[in-house]
Amino acid sequence: MRQSGVLHLLSFVTLAAVFVDPHSVRAAERPVTLRATVGASTQGAGKSDLPYLGPPFGGTTVGSIVFIDAERGTIWSVGVEMSLATAITGTQRSRGNPRLGESFVTNTFASNHKDLLFSGTVKAKTPANARFQAAAAAGFGLAIRQTDRVGTSTSDFPPVRTAPFQETVSDWVPAATFGADGAIALNRRISVLVIAPRTKRG
């Protein structure tokens, strides 16, 4: 069974999130900073693959981004980033091979889908000594996708029979990340962060 391209775009927006970077250190005048955000993760629906699998679905859930940045000059930094979110849920159906006797079946199920993304990033930002700091980011990495499906299988022709259906599918695809963020420093270790990355998966 082919897996649906449920999620084609992951956009993440965190408003007035607070990040703490107690591990910010100076080494050869190049700070390394650990940051984390919590906010809303919106995932758009993919393309329909009916009658084999569909309809596509999307949704908004709670998500988080954790990233580490190392400065490489006055405006450049490089880092790594992990993005994750709670599962989105949708009702789908699919065509199945003969299971109940010799009849083809239709599977009807609830799909729970989640992504875990890892990427390396490069950022261009305003000077670090400014109270407000803005940055534009671009990166590339991998998205690990997993969908759990639970429902029933029903035969397409008489005599109609029903049986439990359960399936887990997972894979990974390349992911390119583009975004921007802004931070207002409250003190040396705490800032208010607004971040809006968009991740396009292959």
pLDDT in tens, 46-60: 788 888 899 999 888
Helix (H) or strand (E) holding 57: none
| pLDDT tens per residue, range 105-154 | 899 999 999 999 999 999 998 876 677 888 999 999 999 999 999 999 99
List helix spans (H) across the chain. none
pLDDT at 3 over 60: no
- Ramachandran bin of 166, using left for φ above 0, alpha for ψ from -120 to 50, beta for the remaining angles: beta
